[in-house]
């Protein structure tokens, strides 16, 4: 069974699952955290023939930004030379305005999105480190208004944005509000696994492999325990970017030993293929529902 999903992403997802129309929150707590996230975001955009703009923390030099994106060698040179990948700053984006206003930033992002399309790219994606707020001495409340009222930038437009917040600089109250304001939140690094539970569903996002196998097993077991009385559980794997064969076997083993009447697994075609190769067809209470985006 297949179902189409046309809305933008919601919830906690890995960076690999971002797509046009997504407005994502990313948090980090040290200078090296999140480097793999921004690099993966950039490379995915280039591979998808999108234009990519990186607004890094103002304290970083342009050379430092390039080194973070392109270790260990100059593989991004061609994209930089043709203008597909741009390293810039919020000061440069809103120029000649000296002070930040939501209206000026919105205007410039819309112009850059239109420019990317005119240049033949599929859309625009931006990575914005929110340290620009301090650099421009912007009002925090005004910035929060921008973040929570930016839907028009993403509606029916091929624009994707990550807003990266340093937890050492922003207050817990601001971080919590901005976490809620963004339709999707990113896992903090590649290879992470995130689980969310309701009474009848366990939702897993990220990567289920040897490094996160115990977390994966524990999350499925908890889902089965929470739904034991209802005897029905949905295991949502649609936001997994990787499922190892071992984790697939673990899921089938747990399903086969459960007293549940129905365990529905929602997943993408690649994950469904792994489950079927692991003999999912011989687990009578397990049903696979393929979803696509």
Q: Is-cis flag, bond preceding 72, omega within 30?
A: yes
In this predicted structure, the answer to whether residue 2 has a pLDDT above a threshold of 50 is no
* CB 263, CB 233: distance < 8 Å: yes
Domain count, the chain: 2
Q: Are 180 and 278 in the same domain?
A: no
Distance in angstroms (rounded) separating the CA atoms of residues 28 and 280? 38
How sure is the predictor about 3, in pLDDT bands with cuts at 50, 70 and 90? very low
Last residue of a domain, one of 186, 208, 223: 186
Last residue of a domain, one of 186, 211, 246: 186
Q: Six-digit token pair at 23? A: 């407005």
Q: Are 75 and 198 in the same domain?
A: no
Stated pTM of the model: 0.87
In this predicted structure, the answer to whether residue 15 has a pLDDT above a threshold of 60 is yes
Q: Are 38 and 155 in the same domain?
A: yes
Q: Are 38 and 97 in the same domain?
A: yes
In this predicted structure, the answer to whether residue 72 has a pLDDT above a threshold of 70 is no
- The DSSP result for the chain, as a single string, is -EEE--SPP-EEE-GGG--TT-EEEEEESSTTTTHHHHHHHHHHHHHTT-EEEEE--TTS-HHHHHHHHSTTS-TTHHHHHTTSEEEE-HHHHHTT--S--HHHHHHHHHHHHHHHHHTT-S-EEEEEETTHHHHTT--HHHHHHHHHT-GGGTTTS-EEEEEEEETTTS-HHHHHHHHHHSSEEE-SSTT-EEEEE-SSEEEEEEEESTTTHHHHHHHHHHHHHHTTTTTEEEEEEEEEEEE-HHHHHHHHHHHHHS--SEEEEEE-HHHHHHHHHTTGGG-TTEEEEEEE-
Q: Are 204 and 170 in the same domain?
A: no
In angstroms, the first-to-last Cα distance of the chain is 14
Q: Six-digit token pair at 159? A: 């624009």
Q: Are 106 and 141 in the same domain?
A: yes
Q: Are 171 and 222 in the same domain?
A: no
Unique residue bearing structure tokens 């079927």: 276
* CB 165, CB 33: distance < 8 Å: no
CATH code of the domain in which 198 resides: 3.30.750.24
Buried b (16+ CB within 10 A) or exposed e, 196-208: eeeeebbbbbbbb
Q: Are 153 and 203 in the same domain?
A: no
38 CB-side CA count, 13 A: 29
Q: Are 217 and 119 in the same domain?
A: no
Last residue of a domain, one of 155, 186, 217: 186
pLDDT, tens digit (0-9, with 9 covering 90-100), for 160-217:
999 999 999 999 999 999 999 999 999 999 999 999 999 999 999 999 999 999 999 9
For residue 107, the enclosing domain spans 2-186
Q: Are 258 and 176 in the same domain?
A: no
Q: Are 173 and 204 in the same domain?
A: no
Q: Are 224 and 140 in the same domain?
A: no
Mean pLDDT for the stretch of residues 11-30: 93
CATH code of the domain in which 73 resides: 3.40.50.300
Distance in angstroms (rounded) separating the CA atoms of residues 137 and 256? 58
């Amino acid at each position: 069974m297949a179902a189409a999903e046309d809305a933008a992403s919601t919830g906690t997802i890995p960076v690999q699952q971002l797509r046009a129309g997504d407005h994502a929150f990313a948090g980090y707590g040290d200078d090296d955290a999140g480097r793999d996230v921004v690099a993966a975001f950039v490379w995915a955009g280039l591979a998808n023939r999108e234009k990519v703009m990186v607004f890094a923390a103002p304290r970083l030099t342009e050379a430092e930004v390039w080194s973070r994106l392109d270790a260990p060698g100059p593989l991004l040179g061609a994209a930089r030379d043709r203008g597909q990948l741009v390293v810039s700053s919020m000061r440069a984006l809103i120029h000649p305005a000296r002070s930040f206003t939501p209206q000026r930033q919105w205007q410039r992002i819309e112009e850059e999105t239109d420019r990317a399309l005119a240049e033949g790219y599929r859309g625009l994606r931006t990575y914005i480190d929110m340290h620009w707020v301090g650099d421009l001495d912007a009002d925090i409340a005004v910035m929060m208004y921008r973040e929570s009222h930016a839907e028009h930038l993403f509606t029916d437009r091929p624009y994707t944005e990550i807003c990266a917040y340093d937890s050492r600089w922003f207050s817990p109250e601001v971080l919590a509000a901005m976490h809620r304001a963004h339709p999707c939140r990113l896992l903090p690094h590649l290879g992470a696994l995130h689980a969310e539970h309701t009474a009848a569903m366990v939702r897993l996002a990220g990567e289920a492999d040897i490094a996160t196998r115990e977390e994966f097993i524990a999350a499925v077991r908890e889902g089965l325990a929470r739904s034991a009385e209802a005897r029905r559980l949905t295991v949502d794997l649609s936001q997994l970017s990787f499922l190892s064969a071992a984790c697939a076997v673990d899921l089938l083993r747990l399903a086969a030993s459960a007293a549940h009447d129905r365990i529905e697994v929602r997943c993408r075609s690649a994950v469904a293929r792994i489950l079927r190769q692991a003999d999912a067809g011989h687990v009578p209470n397990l049903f696979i529902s393929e979803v696509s985006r």
